[in-house]
Amino acid sequence: MTTRTRILVIFGTRPEAIKLFPVIAALKADPRFECVTCVSAQHRDMLDQVLSIAGIVPDHDLDLMRPGQTLDGLTAALLTGLGGVMDAVKPDRVMVQGDTATAMAGALAAYYRKLPVDHVEAGLRSGNIHHPWPEEVNRKIIGSLASLHFAPTETAAGALLRENVDPARVHVTGNTVIDALHWVTDRIAEQPLLVAGLGELEARFAGKRVIGVTSHRRENFGGGLEAIARAVARIAQRPDVAVIFPVHPNPNVRAVMDAALAGLPNVALIAPLDYPHFARLLGLAEIMLTDSGGVQEEAPALGKPVLVMRETTERPEGVAAGTARLVGTDEGRIVTEIFTLLDDKAAYEAMARAHNPFGDGQASARIVEHVANEAGQ
């Protein structure tokens, strides 16, 4: 009898948890694997929101988040902390997702121990190491040492092949975010009370056209975030509009948004929503305005036009499909683009088509099968 493959799944932030919980569920249900989970807790409250809804109790929790943490301080703590867990767990393989500091340090610590690394959401490239920063470089580091590369799309796979990654090691699986979105949509259908927390805001803004906003990118700190805040304030002057804005708790974000937007009648600045409530917001919103990676993938799947407050994107599929548009962080441009969608029905209809370039909801099952084959199971 073959022994089970011990796989250590490492994650630390909200988006990694959302995109890995379906994979963890599939690994745990599969007798070929012993799945051990380790959270760095680079995020704390936002990570715990996902752990709670997904029913995951991590086997190891490094509890690393510090208020206003720096990239170098965080990375140093991650490398030694995650390396220590690997020495204790002695896994056969390590899995990381995406491009955070946790994913990069987890992959590097595994490489230092000559452990094979499985990279979920591989091959995203903007071609600009400063946008998004530092994620573009984190992904390139992980891509240079991964054993298996799970590309969400053909475009992502193509980027890896152009970097001379062995084609036999690249698998197009779809993005696990779509698996997560299907799962949460089904949970809400079974249990509508899961999203009751938005009821008060829904009543307050009844009859208004909802715009959902999120913003947290480090490269936008300072002037970029201030411009975004001014644009949102101008948009919210329209009496027919309501802005629902779950604010990222990073002090660099919170302070700017509070200063510009707190108390405006058509703006709800709220704490980060748990995943079911955020899915509800995606459903309510007429338009999403965001600099998030994950929201760029979810909004097209739900047929919601998404305006992306970035200069460039590593997720060109939504733009190519016409459901996403890059609008940068210029105040005037953001206002104009939102008003066009609000006032020009044809422009809106052209963007509001459900489009799923990012997957069919079966990515996790494919990933588990590829890992099992690679591990000789």
List of residues contacting ligand UDP (CB under 6 A): 14-15, 18, 177, 214, 216, 246, 272-273, 275, 278, 292-295, 298
| Cβ atoms of residues 23 and 120 within 8 Å | yes
| Residue in the block written with tokens 């099952």 | 365
| DSSP H helix total and E strand total for the chain | 16, 13
Query: Which burial class, exposed, middle or buried, applies to 330 when counting CB atoms under 10 A from its CB (0-12, 13-18, 19+)?
Result: middle
C-beta of 308 vs 375, nearer to ligand UDP: 308
- Count of CB atoms within 10 A of residue 369's CB? 16
By CB under 6 A, tell whether 72 contacts ligand UD1.
no
Tell me the one-letter amino acid at 189. A
| The only residue of 147, 250, 312, 362 in contact with ligand UD1, by rule CB under 6 A | 250
Tell me the one-letter amino acid at 325. R
298 binds, among ligand UDP, ligand UD1, none (CB under 5 to 8 A by kind): ligand UDP
State how far the Cα of 126 lies from the Cα of 271, in Å rounded to an integer.
30
Residues of this chain, 127-186, that bind ligand UD1 according to CB under 6 A: 134-135
Rounded to 5°, the CA angle 49-363-315 comes to 80
| Cβ atoms of residues 285 and 241 within 8 Å | no
68 binds, among ligand UD1, ligand UDP, none (CB under 5 to 8 A by kind): ligand UD1
74 binds, among ligand UDP, ligand UD1, none (CB under 5 to 8 A by kind): ligand UD1
State how far the Cα of 5 lies from the Cα of 30, in Å rounded to an integer.
10
State how far the Cα of 169 lies from the Cα of 150, in Å rounded to an integer.
9
| The only residue of 249, 283, 303, 322 in contact with ligand UD1, by rule CB under 6 A | 249
294 binds, among ligand UDP, ligand UD1, none (CB under 5 to 8 A by kind): ligand UDP
State how far the Cα of 202 lies from the Cα of 188, in Å rounded to an integer.
17
By CB under 6 A, tell whether 73 contacts ligand UD1.
no
Binding mask 42-61 for ligand UD1 (x = CB under 6 A): xxxxx---------------
C-beta of 118 vs 297, nearer to ligand UDP: 297
362 binds, among ligand UD1, ligand UDP, none (CB under 5 to 8 A by kind): none
Q: What are the φ and ψ backbone dihedral angles of 289, each rounded to 5 degrees?
A: -120, 115
Question: 134: cis peptide before it, omega within 30°?
Answer: yes
246 binds, among ligand UDP, ligand UD1, none (CB under 5 to 8 A by kind): ligand UDP
CB of 271 to ligand UDP, least distance (A): 8
Coil, strand or helix at 94: strand
Which DSSP helix (H) or strand (E) runs through 109? helix 101-112
Binding mask 200-239 for ligand UD1 (x = CB under 6 A): ----------------x-x---------------------
Residues of this chain, 77-116, that bind ligand UD1 according to CB under 6 A: 99-101
C-beta of 74 vs 368, nearer to ligand UD1: 74
- Integer-rounded Cα Rg, in Å, for the chain is 20
Annotated catalytic sites, by residue?
A: 99, 121, 135, 216, 218, 248
Q: Which residues bind ligand UD1 (CB under 6 A)?
A: 13-15, 42-46, 65-69, 71, 74, 99-101, 134-135, 216, 218, 249-251
